[in-house]
Amino acid sequence: MKIWIKFGIIIITLALELLFANIVTFDAIKPDLVLIIVICLSFMYGSEDGIIIGFAGGLLKDIFSINLLGTNALVKTIIGYISGTIRERIFQQYLLWIVALATFFFTILNNTFVYYLLGLFHTNYDFMEILKRYLLTQALVNSVLSPFIFIGIRKLLSYAERWS
């Protein structure tokens, strides 16, 4: 039952990201909601679920994006594993702050990995331009949104556990 709820959260998040991508922008910066969901669910359930959630979310994002198929899946799988591993080594009382900080750093890591993976296939992106204009602002937006999304997911999953 829980796996279907997690997969449903990923699908709904991707649908919201695709539907409201042009509406909810901050100076041409779009929050990466799938990345935030991967980080939040990995912090809740650990590295094994983080790998599965990261791969599923990344693959679904790859299907609906213009990037090469598999780049987001690979990067979000790695991020799901790392954030799940961090969860096992932290104090639970500071989890919201850690989720916000981890989201900031994982957003930078996500975009850097995607840039270098696309660079392997000779795409023309200027990393310094991306860093100056988009990367830090997107990381800040994602880190501000992540505690609220974390709390929402936790409440949704607690309601789902009561009903099952």
Q: How far apart are CA 152 and CA 149, in angstroms?
A: 5
Cβ(130)–Cβ(161) below 8 Å: no
Say yes or no to pLDDT of 114 above 60.
yes
The burial of 49, by beta-carbon neighbours within 10 Å (0-12 exposed, 13-18 middle, 19 or more buried), is given as middle
> Crossing angle of helices 71-87/47-63, nearest 10°?
160
Residue pLDDT, tens place only, 36-51: 999 999 999 989 999 9
The residues spanned by each domain of the chain are 2-163
CATH topology of domain 2-163: Arp2/3 complex 21 kDa subunit ARPC3 (1.10.1760)
Q: Where are the alpha helices (DSSP H) in the chain?
A: 2-19, 33-45, 47-63, 71-87, 95-120, 127-130, 136-163
User: Which tens digits make up the pLDDT trace of 55-113?
Assistant: 999 999 999 887 778 889 999 999 999 999 988 787 667 778 889 999 999 999 998 88
Q: What is the mean pLDDT of residues 106-125?
A: 80
pLDDT, residue 109, reads: 92
pLDDT band at 144 (very low <50, low <70, confident <90, very high): very high
Residue 142's CB is within 10 A of a number of other CB atoms, namely 25
- Dihedral pair phi/psi, residue 147, rounded to 5°: -65, -35
Strand partners, 26: 29
Q: Is the pLDDT of residue 34 over 90?
A: yes
With CA atoms as reference, report the closest residue to 100 among 43, 54, 30.
43
Within a 13 Å sphere around the CA of 136, how many CA atoms are in the beta-carbon half? 5
